[in-house]
Structure 1
Amino acid sequence: MQFKDIIGQEEIKAQLIQTVAENRVSHAQLFLSSEGSGALPMAIAYAQYLNCLDKQAEDSCGVCSSCRKYERYIHPDLHFSYPFFASKDARIAVDVLDEWRAMLLEDAYFDMDIWRSKLSAENKQANINIAECHDIIKKLSYKAFEAETKVLIMWLPEYLDKEGNSLLKIIEEPPKNTLFLLVANNQEQILSTLLSRTQIVKIPKLSNAVIEHYLMEKHGLPEEQATEYSFLADGNLIDAKLLVANTQNENADKFAEWLRMGYGNRVLDLTVFVDQAAGWGRENQKNFLKYGINFLRECSLLLSGAEALVKLPGRTLDTAKKLSNHVLDLGMAEAIIQELERAHYHIERNANPKILFLDVSLQLVKIIKFKTLPKGTQYIYN
């Protein structure tokens, strides 16, 4: 993978290239980003550039023997580690390496949900186990086969439990010409002992403009639809691609109508809505709830007098203004966001959608119609 294959992040690309040019490559780095920002592709492109036999000013050459092997993820000095579901057939990560390579070749932008769908998870929990840690130490103790630098890319070190402490010595005192690249989403879930031994490279969320341009150029979306999807994706290219795959995006109208049902205490309409929402499928339900969270945050800006900061497209902005003027206030928006975040959390964990959407709908009535807010929520009037 080359830097040119990565969406946006031009500043980070230049920074990484400069570290190679100036011979300032830290032996243990943590690429920290939110999901869908391109941290894993960035780590792979960085490793490829480092071992390219004919480095260009802004990218690897893409044609040398090292680059060709990197492009297919089969270079003998490129190693991957990642969460997996241990079983009698999968004791260490390399046992599912074929599935990992196939997924990278299909699309290097993915999350744990997508990776899980490629494996036989059954009822097991994914992790990076002690056997995998021992295998890492074993592999990196060998001399490099071809490249000047051996590279280990560990995706989601958050899945390392205390067994990760077995890697501390090799990370702190690595074999000669060995590079550790850890790719994480949540700094707080990483072992502190591991965190203290790495140099952190923070990769920002993609801007709405970058995602919008990508959707128009790569997927041929009209500008209005690309703007809507980029707003909903909120910097996450994975979510943006899922939205493209699900072409029926009616979240703006559905969500606004849902709020109106709550305001009007239209219980019969709410029960019909609940039945419909229960049949959408988990990804559509998650997208709907995430849209609502983002939409209400934009409404909060309107209610705070910060319209210049609002990113909503034209028609949706008009809807947000009407709701902000006639239905919502800051306290309501904050309370509903809390309910939607809770619902999103439970949908991800396979809660019964009919019960969940019914509960949230009743909470909407309490919050909007009867102005009964959850405990701890400060009510703010317009």
Structure 2
Amino acid sequence: MQFSSVVGQKDAIGRLIKLGKEGKVPHAILFGEEPGYGALPLSVAFAQYLSCPNKSETDSCGNCPSCNKFSKLIHPDLHFAFPVNTTKKISSKPVSDNFIDSWRKVVRENPYMAEQELYDEIGTENKLGNIGVAEASLIFRKLSMTSFEGGNKYMIIWLAERMNQEASNKLLKLLEEPPKETFLFLISQSPEKILPTILSRCRIIKLPPIKIEDLSEKLMEEFSINRTDAGLWAKISGGSLSHARRAILESTDSSAFDNLIADLINGCLSKKLMNVISVWEEVATLTREQQRNFCYKLIEYIRRSYILSLGSQELSYIPESQKQVFAHWAATIKPAFYEKGFELVNKAITDIERSVNSKYIFADLSNRFFLSL
């Protein structure tokens, strides 16, 4: 992966290039982000850049043997650790190496993946992954070995907040006395859950949401949509490429959630609290994947209402059977709600991906909708 393949994040890329040119790359960097901001492709691109013998002023060459191995995620000095759990094939003490082929496959296809997408690929059957002491021991052993190709060694720990206490303590020892020419890149969507003593030994780079113009260009290229549509999707996704992709795909799908969403919004508008409670209680019983699909469909419905409220019908396909409902919403919903509504649903999606209690997520979302609509 090259910096040129990272969507936006120009400031962070500039900081990393500057560190590389000045020879001041710290042994440990923690990239803080929300899902879909691009910390994983950015960290791989940085490792590729540092190891490239033919790098330019702004990027790795992308063509040398080293770059080719990095782009395929098979460079022998590039290591990964990520949350795992037992599966039908791996019944005890799972570590990342047990699933490395699946990891490479899903990251090559979508380096902006959500946590659940990895679990679906490796088959953890709806169990939350973690990074345990067996993984930490493996990290320690890999980084203590001599470099295979005589250069730097890299360890990228994806979702470092999934480390348990024992693993965190073992990693801390490695950070206190890091081997030479070794770099650890930690990626976290909840840095506050990581041991403060680990954070204090890392250079922290917090990624902002992807800028609307950068995300719009990517969406135009990927989905062949016009600039106006792309700009709207970029705006309502909260600067997350993964959220934008899922929302666009969900907007073209038929949905089993039409009635639930209608009951939620109508209940909020008419201030029928029991109707709203009934909706969130039902959604809270769904699987995490179904809950995410519900949220993406909810975003699409809010988008349609928003576009109609602006007086435009060209950007929003609405089935004939639903036109009266959307016309009512567009005329009734307060203009100030839309931006807040998109923000609330994106937060709910992030909380689902972080495995926050479902009842809390949807009780909170429904309550805030009820008060805002």
TM-score, length basis structure 1: 0.75
Report the counterpart of residue 179 of structure 2 in structure 1. 175
How far apart, in 1, do the equivalents of 2:272 and 2:62 lie? 60
Q: Secondary structure at the match of 1:246?
A: helix
The match for 1:94 among 94, 97, 100 is 97
Residues 351, 147 of structure 1: alpha-carbon distance in 2 compared, 3 angstrom cutoff: same
Matches within 5 A, 1:194-233: 194-233=198-237
* Identity score, percent: 30
Asked if the contact 1:263–1:365 (Cα under 8 Å) also holds between the matched residues in 2, the reply is no
1:290-316 residue CA offsets vs partner (Å, 9 max, x unmatched): 678x98xxxxxxxxxxxxxxxx97644
Determine if the alignment matches structure 1 residue 133 to structure 2 residue 133: no
**Partner residue of 2:294 out of 285, 306, 320:** 285
Matched position secondary structure for 1:118: helix
Q: Give the Cα–Cα distance (whole angstroms) in 1 for the partners of residues 220 and 341 of structure 2.
A: 35
TM-superposition CA deviations, 1:312-332 (whole Å, max 9, x none): 976445699x9899665999x
Cα deviation code 1:209-236 (max 9, x no counterpart): 2222211122111233323322221111
Is the counterpart of residue 103 in structure 1 residue 68 in structure 2? no
Residue 79 of structure 2 corresponds to 79
Give the drift of 1:246. 2.3
Structure 1: gaps of 5 or more residues: 296-311, 370-382
Structure 1 position 65 matched with structure 2 position 68: no
* 1: CA distance, partners of 2:4 / 2:134: 36
Tell me how far apart the structure 2 counterparts of residues 16 and 107 of structure 1 sit (CA, whole Å): 22
What is the alpha-carbon distance in structure 1 between the residues aligned to residue 370 and residue 80 of structure 2? 50
- Per mean C-alpha deviation after superposition, the further-off stretch among 232-241 and 276-285 is 276-285
Q: Which residues of structure 2 form unaligned runs of 5+?
A: 313-325
TM-superposed deviation, 1:116: 1.2
- Matched pairs, number: 344
CA distance in 2, matches of 1:330, 1:127: 40
Query: What are the Cα deviations for residues 348-376 of structure 1, in whole angstroms up to 9, with x where unaligned?
Result: 77969xxx79x988x6997589xxxxxxx
Post-superposition shift, 1:63? Answer: 1.2
TM-score (ref. length: structure 2): 0.76
Cα pair 2:159 2:188 within 8 Å, conserved: yes
1:42 aligns with 2:42: yes
Paired letter, 2:91: K
Partners of 1:77 and 1:147 within 8 A in 2? no
**Where does residue 321 of structure 2 map in the other structure?**
none
How far apart, in 1, do the equivalents of 2:279 and 2:127 lie? 34
Instruction: State whether residues 41 and 108 of structure 1, in contact with CA within 8 Å, keep that contact through their aligned partners in structure 2.
Output: yes
Counterpart CA distance in 2 for 1:2 and 1:365 is 41
1:263 counterpart letter in structure 2: L
| Higher Rg of the two aligned structures | 1
AA in 2 matched with 1:139: K
Alpha-carbon shift at residue 167 of structure 1 (Å): 1.4
> Do structure 1's residue 235 and structure 2's residue 244 form an aligned pair?
no
Residue identity matched to 1:209: E
Q: What amino acid is aligned across from residue 50 of structure 1 in structure 2?
A: L
Distance 2:349 2:97 in 1: 36
